[in-house]
Amino acid sequence: MNKKHKNLIAATAGFLVGSGISIFIAKKIKENNADQILETVKETLSAQGTVSNAWINSERISGEHYGTRTIYNGGANITSDQGETKSIDFIADADTGELFKLEVLIKN
């Protein structure tokens, strides 16, 4: 095997390993992004009271209706300082966590 073939094999192997690592990292970032957006939403909602039982659907959906690429939907319970609890659903930008829609489902 000459030097040219060895270099080609090494370059190909490097490319394949690098591509595999990049795909793995991108997938992990995308998976963790929903958790990060949920934390951002909880921080925003905490101005209204104590946030509990918060959840987010980790599957991105089209946000075309809201003027963005993708969104997440989720929900939470918020208990005010006066003891009033409300269950809410939200829609948030999948990249920034900006709330586009906040709907109160149950108010006690």
Indicate which CATH number applies to the domain containing 63. Answer: 3.10.450
| Residue pointed to by tokens 């909880």 | 42
Tokens coding 66: 């809201």
Q: Quick check: pTM over 0.95?
A: no
CA distance 106 to 57: 20
The model's pLDDT over 17-66, given as tens digits with 9 standing for 90+, comes to 666 565 555 554 455 599 999 999 999 999 999 999 999 998 999 999 98
Range in 4-13, 28-37, 73-82, 99-108 with the lowest mean pLDDT: 4-13
- How many domains does the chain fold into? 1
As a whole number, mean pLDDT of residues 89-93 equals: 96
Residue 99 lies in domain: 3-107
**Measured torsion, CA atoms of residues 35, 41, 72, 34, in degrees rounded to the nearest 10:** -10
Amino acid residing at 70 = T
Give the pLDDT confidence score for residue 10 in this predicted structure: 62
Would you report the helix, strand and coil content of the chain in percent, each value rounded to 5?
A: 45, 35, 20
